[in-house]
Amino acid sequence: MTANKGKLPELLDNLQLPAYTCPGGYPLFYLDGHDSTLCPKCATECLSNDTPSLRPVACAVHWEGEPLSCEECNADIESAYGDPDPIDLGALSKLSEGA
Ligand SMILES: [Zn+2]
């Protein structure tokens, strides 16, 4: 297990794994025993999976980059700071200034 993956957080009052850090509100994703990405909802559902390797084992914040997709339900897991490169807003504003 690498250093940037944390242990599973405690369940919320509604017995769900949290989708965001508290405090901070950064988006969390989960990894199962096969290093598959799970959204918080699927991770919660897999907590009681009959196959231990399919249960979530680690949790991490998705800081930046393209959205991850859950390998169970294909839900997007947006990053906290978005994708740094897809559209260069600085370049776009320079273009409009020069026009
Ligand atoms: Zn999912």
Look at 44 and 90; give whichever has higher pLDDT: 44
Is residue 45 a part of any domain in this protein? Answer: yes
**Ligand 1 centroid from CA 69, angstroms:** 8
Is residue 90 a part of any domain in this protein? Answer: yes
Given a contact cutoff of 8 angstroms between Cβ atoms, the answer to whether 20 and 27 are in contact is yes
For residue range 14-46, list pLDDT tens digits in order: 999 999 998 999 999 999 999 999 999 999 999
When divided into structural domains, the chain yields a total of 1
**Ligand 1 centroid from CA 21, angstroms:** 18
Is residue 7 a part of any domain in this protein? Answer: no
Question: Burial letters for 50-64: b for 16+ Cβ neighbours within 10 Å, e otherwise?
Answer: eeeeebbbbbbbbee
**Ligand 1 centroid from CA 5, angstroms:** 18
Domain range for 40: 28-97
In single-letter form, the type of residue at position 84 comes to P
Cα separations in angstroms, 99 against 80, 92, 94: 33, 11, 9
Is residue 1 a part of any domain in this protein? Answer: no
Is the pTM of the predicted complex or chain greater than 0.85?
Answer: no
**Ligand 1 centroid from CA 46, angstroms:** 10
**Ligand 1 centroid from CA 57, angstroms:** 15
Is residue 66 a part of any domain in this protein? Answer: yes
For residue range 63-75, list pLDDT tens digits in order: 999 999 999 999 9
